Amino acid sequence: MAIIGISAMIVGCGNPAKMRAARLNEDGKTIESRFPVPEDYLRTDEPAGSFGNFLRKLNLHPEGTAVRYFDGRIKPKNVHAAVINLDIGTKDLQQCADAVMRLRAEYLYSQNKKEQIAFNFTNGFRAAYTEWMKGKRMVVKGNTTYWEQKAAPADTYESFRKYMDLIFTYAGTRSLEKEMHPVSNIHDIKTGDVFIRGGSPGHAVIVVDMAEHKSSGKKIFLLAQSYMPAQHIHVLINSENKDLSPWYSEDFGETLITPEWEFKKTELRRF
């Protein structure tokens, strides 16, 4: 087992300013196995079958893999700690909010909860996967959207991916923010929660793993994102606290600073 990085060290009681993350396990195949938690921290309980458990066990590309755009180009800015092993597609579609919706839909699909796969378009239309499975397709005319029978019923993964590409085309940060529920207390943060700001442009990052300090209960978390143009979904580094990176502490103050966006702590949402 290859181990790289800085050895874990805790000074004080869960003070992120004096904490170093545990060494990276470069042979780890999942988020959980690639990123050990710092000393005196324990991962939160994420029951089997939960969204949190699904995110924690996402498969990763090998250590050192570059983030690539949909057209194959390498992203020049290095902001990632790991690359999640999910296809990007061949069009400039799977950007920031799209990555969040993709992960949520992949989870529901994997759990055979397909009746729960549905997202709002920016115009408010509710696009349910169950209708798509029947062979119905969305017709968009101006700001009016409706279903029309156009294909044979299908529930293959290939068909699911085509549905997601359509979601990426007509949904975004503005619509996703509206359909998620605010989390008023940052200490209540959970795996699967999303920091999101709707807009053009807007942005979104998702919490993909968490841990708690054994005595203080303070939480730390890992974040993942896609961005513009469409690119691999990747686990973010913490550019503001390189000792703790890639973990982030709940004690970030009023503003969460990520490598490519800043969020207010009031912009936390939940499915």
pLDDT, tens only, 37-74? 999 999 999 999 999 999 999 999 999 999 999 999 99
In one-letter notation, the amino acid at residue 135 is G
Q: Where would I find the H helices in the chain?
A: 31-34, 51-56, 96-110, 129-133, 157-170, 173-179
Q: What percent of the chain clears pLDDT 90, i.e. is strictly above it?
A: 89
Q: What is the pLDDT of residue 19?
A: 73
Burial of 128 (0-12, 13-18, 19+ CB in 10 A): middle
pTM confidence score: 0.92
Query: 218 is written with which tokens?
Result: 């303070």
Q: What is the pLDDT of residue 22?
A: 81
Confidence tier at 21 by pLDDT (50, 70, 90): confident
Query: 16 is written with which tokens?
Result: 């992120």
For residue 10, pLDDT beyond 50: no
d(CA 79, CA 5) in angstroms, rounded, equals: 16
For residue 3, pLDDT beyond 60: no
pLDDT, tens only, 111-120? 999 999 999 9
3-state secondary structure of 39: coil
List, in sequence order, every residue forming a beta bridge with 36; answer none if it has no partner: none
pLDDT, tens only, 148-161? 999 999 999 999 99
> What value, to the nearest 5°, has the Cα angle with vertex 112 and ends 110 and 114?
105
Q: What is the pLDDT of residue 141?
A: 86
Segment 18-37 shows an average pLDDT of 91
List, in sequence order, every residue forming a beta bridge with 64; answer none if it has no partner: none
For residue 171, give the nearest of 135, 234, 126, 137 by alpha carbon.
126
Residue 120 in contact with residue 171, Cβ under 8 Å?
Answer: yes
In one-letter notation, the amino acid at residue 259 is P
Query: 256 is written with which tokens?
Result: 């969460």
Q: What is the pLDDT of residue 16?
A: 45
Q: What is the pLDDT of residue 262?
A: 98
Residue 135 in contact with residue 148, Cβ under 8 Å?
Answer: no
d(CA 92, CA 231) in angstroms, rounded, equals: 8
Taking the mean position of all CA atoms in its chain, how far away is CA 45? 18
